[in-house]
Amino acid sequence: MKKYQLIENKIILENIHITTYGIKCKSQSVKDISTNKAYVKKIIEDLNKHKLSEIHLRDIVDDFLATDKEKIASSK
């Protein structure tokens, strides 16, 4: 079994049903990272590949999100 796994969450936002994806491990989880399942799976793949410690999960997710924001902003 992989250390980090995909979680799915259903939310309702302004009467629209949305599926969001997050990451769970033994000690914690981060919900609602993205509605893009492939994006979250890529983060999980990297986490498992590099065997990163669970205590860094939230920081790593924040770093992924911040990096992608910068890429989007610089491409405009």
Domain boundaries in the chain?
5-74
Residues of the chain under the 70 pLDDT cut: 1, 69-76
Place of tokens 């989007």: 72
| pLDDT score at 67 | 85
User: Global pTM?
Assistant: 0.84
pLDDT at 39: 92
Full DSSP string of 11-44 = EEETTEEEEEEEEE-SS-EEEEEES-HHHHHHHH
